Amino acid sequence: MELEVYNINGQKTDRKVNLNDAIFGIEPNDHAIYLDTKQYMANHRQGTHSAKERNAITGSTKKIKRQKGTGTARSGDIKSPLFRGGGRTFGPRPRDYRFKLNKKLKQLARKSALAYKVKDEGIMVIEDFKFDTPKTKNMVEVLNKLKINNQRTLLVYKEGDSNLYLSSRNLQDVRTVKASNLNTYDILHAQKLVLLEGSLEEIESILGKN
C-alpha cells in the first residue's frame, strides 16, 4: 500500500512511501490486541492499595458481651469487621499486577493495531524534521498546518531527537514516542498516527523480524 508524504506545511510532496504488507496489511488479531493492551494497563497499576484486617487493628480483645441470653447475635472483640472501626474482611493488600507475554504475541498485537489504523485511514507520513530548540509554539504550528490539531495525535519519531518530545509534552492531545517504544495501546488510543519517514524504516526493521 502507498501513502502520500507530506511536509510540515501540510502540503503533499511528489513522493510516496510503500507500507510493508507483512506489517501494515495483515489480518488483525483482536485477541492479541486485547492481551497486549491488558498487559500495558496492568503494568501501569501501582498496586499500593491496602486495608487493615482485624489482626492489624489496635483495640481491646475483651469480649464485648456475654455469649448467650442477650437476644442478639453473639460477638467477639471490638476489632470484629461487624463493628465500626473494626478490621476489614478480606481487604486489599499490596500486589504486583504485572504479567509477561510472549514477544511474538506482542509483535502481532502491534502489527494488528497498525493494520487497523491503515484500514481507518488514520496514518499520515511526513518528512523528517527537527526543532533547533524545544518550543511548544512550533509544534502547535505544525499541527495546525497538518490540520490535526483537534485530534488525539501520536507522533512517532526516530531515535536521538528529544526536542520533538520536549516541544509536545505540554499539549494535552499530543503524544510523541520513539519508534522503538511504539506500543499497541498508544496506537489504538490515537485518532491520528503521524509517522516521520525515518521512524517508518525503524518500525519495519523492528516488526519485520521473525
List the strands of the sheet with 192-196, edge to edge: 12-18, 2-6, 123-126, 192-196, 153-157, 174-178
Go through 62-78 and write b for each residue having 16 or more CB atoms within 10 A of its CB, e for each that does not.
eeeeeeeeeeeeeebeb
CATH code of the domain in which 170 resides? 3.40.1370.10
For residue 184, tell me if it sits in a domain.
yes
For residue 40, tell me if it sits in a domain.
no
For residue 117, tell me if it sits in a domain.
yes
Ramachandran assignment for 71, one of left (phi > 0), alpha (psi -120 to 50 degrees), beta (any other): left
For residue 53, tell me if it sits in a domain.
no
Tens of pLDDT, residues 136-161: 999 999 999 999 888 899 999 987 77
The answer on pLDDT for 210 being more than 70 is no
For residue 45, tell me if it sits in a domain.
no
- For residue 210, give the C-alpha cell: 521473525
For residue 186, tell me if it sits in a domain.
yes
Binned at pLDDT 50, 70 and 90, residue 132 comes out as confident
What is the count of structural domains for the chain? 1
Tens of pLDDT, residues 177-209: 999 999 999 999 999 999 998 898 889 888 887
Range of the domain at 137: 2-28+102-207
The answer on pLDDT for 119 being more than 80 is yes
For residue 177, tell me if it sits in a domain.
yes
Question: Helix, strand, or coil here: 14?
Answer: strand
Tell me the C-alpha distance between 104 and 50, whole Å: 36
Give the other-Cβ count within 10 Å of 107's Cβ: 19
> Rounded mean pLDDT of 44-65?
93
For residue 38, tell me if it sits in a domain.
no
Q: Where are the beta strands (DSSP E) in the chain?
A: 2-6, 12-18, 123-126, 153-157, 174-178, 192-196
Tens of pLDDT, residues 82-117: 999 999 999 999 999 999 999 999 999 999 999 999
* DSSP summary character for residue 71: S
CA 105 to chain CA centroid, nearest Å:
17
